[in-house]
């Protein structure tokens, strides 16, 4: 098999699929990138069994065939190739040579028969969504999940993707906060309903992969235990977590009487400053509603104390004092784009709800954030 392709196409394809390379594993084949040459293109594939990424690039192929190359070596090599228009990959009798300009590299190969086949869903996609909207949805939810090293509850490491009523609702929680993003899905059947729990780190990889694609739409496919995303030359597959996600709809406050409307950027800056003085164990910042101003304060024995206030855009009808972990508020506010936000409260011991307010930015549509308070002593 002989493959000739543009250097920049090979760089794009290898870097794209490298997000799915297996790390330390007892299966060396998972550290490989499969190159399947046929017709007018080459399909590059990598997988760690939790996710699989395919990327097709244009190429001249003489003699269809398959070769599996060491992924880490290939990924680093393509970024250091000399300047040249094209790259040639020749495979014969289990030997592979890559040529770029005057440089030649003989690469070790792995047994292609050992490479996992991977799922290829049949039929049409269940729907499609705007690529920028999906990326924003991932950004506004994955941060609220826990990492696998932080918990034994796998459900809290994932993002629940619920497809229903012409939309996808993404939700993630660590037990103390909850991020929800609702995005429209085109072509979703009226009677279709499905829930797919996907590891937040996997969705983070999906976001990084799709950020390099020029297409505006992402097609969504489903089958038993897997979810698939297709955009242009990229096909991303991921396994779902087989655990029950909490009933997040029940957590969303429905009867909050106190609405604090504030300029988002100013509030965010204040919280970032006061976080420096928050106690190590709680990270708490105290919020005191006093007429047209919101007073914020943080203090600790070893750091000192700080206090600031922000002018509210509307004067609330009631007063209240409540505390939240500063980090949790900052995480939500910095992922929003709207000039104004609303923090809805009902009682010092009950969860608060943050949502965009005023002239809502397009990227904030469908986003809400629930945060549990810190107990006041």
Q: Phi first, then psi: give them for residue 73, nearest 5 degrees.
A: -65, -45
Q: Is 252-371 in the same CATH topology as 127-247?
A: yes
Instruction: For 3-57, write each residue's pLDDT tens digit.
Output: 999 999 999 999 999 999 977 666 899 999 999 998 899 999 999 999 999 999 9
CATH of domain 252-371: 3.10.150.10
Question: Which residues, listed in sequence order, are joined to residue 92 by a DSSP beta bridge?
Answer: 95
Structure tokens at 61: 């192929």
- Asked if 9 contacts 88 with a C-beta cutoff of 8 angstroms, the reply is no
Q: Which residues of the chain fall short of a pLDDT of 70?
A: 24-26, 376-377
Does domain 127-247 fall under CATH 3.10.150.10? My reply is: yes
Strand ranges of the sheet holding 95-100, from the earlier edge strand across to the other edge: 60-62, 2-6, 86-92, 95-100, 103-107
**Cα dihedral 334, 340, 342, 343 in deg (nearest 10):** 40
What is the C-alpha separation between 261 and 171, in angstroms, rounded? Answer: 24
How is 310-361 classified by DSSP, letter by letter?
A: EE-SS--SS-EEEEEEHHHHHHHHTT---SEEEEEES-TTS-EEEEEESS--
Q: How far from the centroid of its chain's Cα atoms is residue 282's Cα?
A: 27
Q: Phi first, then psi: give them for residue 179, nearest 5 degrees.
A: -110, 130
For 290, other C-beta atoms within 10 Å of its C-beta total 13
The mean pLDDT of the chain is 94
pLDDT for the residue numbered 377: 58
Structure tokens at 292: 């047209």
Tokens 């005023």 correspond to what residue? Answer: 358
Triad 368, 200, 274: Cα angle to 5°: 55
What are the domain boundaries of the chain?
2-114, 127-247, 252-371
CATH level 3 topology of 2-114 = DNA Polymerase III; Chain A, domain 2 (3.10.150)
**Percentage of the chain with pLDDT > 90?**
89
Instruction: Give the dihedral sign, CA 194/200/206/211.
Output: positive
Closest CA to 192 of 170, 168, 212, 210: 168
């Amino acid at each position: 098999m002989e493959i000739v392709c543009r250097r920049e196409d090979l760089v794009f394809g290898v870097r794209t699929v490298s997000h799915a390379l297996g790390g330390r594993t007892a299966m060396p084949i998972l550290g490989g990138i499969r190159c399947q040459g046929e017709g007018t293109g080459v399909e590059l594939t990598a997988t760690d069994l939790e996710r699989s990424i395919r990327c097709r690039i244009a190429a001249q192929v003489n003699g269809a065939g398959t070769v599996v190359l060491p992924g880490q070596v290939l990924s680093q090599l393509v970024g250091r190739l000399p300047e040249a228009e094209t790259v040639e990959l020749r495979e014969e009798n289990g030997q592979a040579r890559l040529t770029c300009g005057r440089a030649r590299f003989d690469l070790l190969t792995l047994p292609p028969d050992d490479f996992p086949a991977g799922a290829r869903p049949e039929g049409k996609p269940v729907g499609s969504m705007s690529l920028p909207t999906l990326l924003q949805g991932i950004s506004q939810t994955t941060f609220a999940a826990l990492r696998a090293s932080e918990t034994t509850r796998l459900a809290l490491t994932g993002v629940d993707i619920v497809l229903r009523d012409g939309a996808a609702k993404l939700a993630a929680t660590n037990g103390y906060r909850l991020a929800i993003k609702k995005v429209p899905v085109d072509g979703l059947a009226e009677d279709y309903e499905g829930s797919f729990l996907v590891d937040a780190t996997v969705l983070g990889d999906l976001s990084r992969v799709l950020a390099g694609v020029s297409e505006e739409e992402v097609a969504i496919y489903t089958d038993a235990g897997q979810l698939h995303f297709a955009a242009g030359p990229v096909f991303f597959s991921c396994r779902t977590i087989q655990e029950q996600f909490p009933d997040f709809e029940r957590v969303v406050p429905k009867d909050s009487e106190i609405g604090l409307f504030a300029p988002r950027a100013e509030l965010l800056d204040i919280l970032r400053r006061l976080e420096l003085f928050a106690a190590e164990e709680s990270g708490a910042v105290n919020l005191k509603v006093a007429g047209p101003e919101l007073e914020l304060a943080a203090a600790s024995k070893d750091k000192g104390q700080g206090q600031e206030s922000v002018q509210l855009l509307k004067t609330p009808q009631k007063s209240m004092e409540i505390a939240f972990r500063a980090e949790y508020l900052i995480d939500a506010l910095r992922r929003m784009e709207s000039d104004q936000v609303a923090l809805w409260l009902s009682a010092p011991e009950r969860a608060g709800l943050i949502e965009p307010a005023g002239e809502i930015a397009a990227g904030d549509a469908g986003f809400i954030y629930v945060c549990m308070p810190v107990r006041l002593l």
